[in-house]
Amino acid sequence: MIAGVAVEVWRKSVKNFILVVHASDGRVRISVPFFASAARVREVLMSRMDWIRARQRSCKAQSTVAEPVMADGSEHLFFGKSYPIRICEGKGRQGVCFDQGVGITLRVRPGATIAAKWRLLDRWYREELGQRIRELLDKWQPIVGREAAEYRIKRMKTRWGTCNILARRLWLNLKLVTMPEECLELIVVHELVHLLEREHNEVFYGHMDWLLPDWRNKNELLQ
C-alpha cells in the first residue's frame, strides 16, 4: 500500500519500471528490475501518484459508460473516435459506408434484425482492421527483419494479440478496431518481435525500445 493505493509489485527481468493501471478495475501494477530497492520502488510510485489517481478516476468513469447499442444515432468507436450510426433501409445491396463528417452508415434490407445489423458492422470492422494490419505488416516486417506467415482476427477477452511462433501466425483482437491506430501499430510490432524473442525479457524489451521508443506510453492506452 502506497499513499493509500494498493499496488502489485512484480520483480522481472526488465531494465525500466513499467507502471500499469488496469482499465477494468483501476488495479495498479508495477514491474520492477529484480534488484531495485523497496525505497526506489516507493520513490517511483510517489512520483507518479498524481497520474495514478487521475488514471483510476478515468477508469471508474469509463466503467459506467454503457455498451454501444444498435440503433439509429447511437455512437460507435472506430479507431479511437466516436461516430454516430445511421441505419438506412432499402432494397439495394447491403453494406457499410464511412465518412468522418457523417459517421457510419449501414445500408440494410427492410426489416433487418438487430443481429443482422451487428453482423454487417462486424464484417466491416474486420475488413477495415485487416486492411490496416496489412499496411502495418508491409511497413514493419522489413524493419523487424521477420515475416509473419499469416495473421488472423478474432475476439479475445484478455489479450490484444498473440503470436504462434512455430507457425509464424499472428492473432489480433477485433476490439483493436475501436482503439487509436497507434495501439494497433504497437500490437503488430509487439507480436512481430516475438518472432525474434519468444519471452518478455530484457532482449525483447530492448527490441521494443529500439523499434518504438515511446511504446510504453502507447501501451498505457491499452491497459
> What tens digit of pLDDT does each residue of 184-201 get?
999 999 999 999 998 888
Is 66's pLDDT higher than 60?
no
pLDDT band at 61 (very low <50, low <70, confident <90, very high): low
- One DSSP character per residue, 90-147 reads -SS--EEEEETTTEEEEEE-TT--HHHHHHHHHHHHHHHHHHHHHHHHHHHHHHHT--
CA-CA-CA-CA torsion sign (197, 200, 202, 206): positive
Pairing of strands 81-89, 75-78: antiparallel
Using a 10 angstrom Cβ sphere, with 0-12 exposed, 13-18 middle and 19 or more buried, the burial of residue 21 is buried
CA atoms of 129 and 176, how far apart (whole Å) = 8
Q: Return the DSSP state at 13.
A: S
What is the per-residue pLDDT for 28? 86
pLDDT band at 152 (very low <50, low <70, confident <90, very high): very high
Give the right CATH number for 75-220 from 3.40.50.720, 3.40.50.2000, 3.30.2010.10, 3.30.70.20: 3.30.2010.10
Q: Would you kindly state where each structural domain of the chain is located, as residue ranges? A: 7-63, 75-220
Q: At what angle do helices 181-193 and 114-144 cross, to 10 degrees?
A: 50
More reliable by pLDDT, 4 or 183: 183
pLDDT digits (tens, 9 = 90+) for 6-45: 888 888 877 788 888 776 677 888 888 888 888 888 888 8
Using a cut of 0.85, tell me whether the model's pTM lies above it. Answer: no
> What 3-state class would DSSP assign to 44?
helix
Which grid coordinates belong to 172? Answer: 489480433
Closest CA to 65 of 82, 53, 48: 82
Which grid coordinates belong to 18? Answer: 513499467
pLDDT digits (tens, 9 = 90+) for 126-137: 999 999 999 999
170, 163 Cβ separation under 8 angstroms: yes
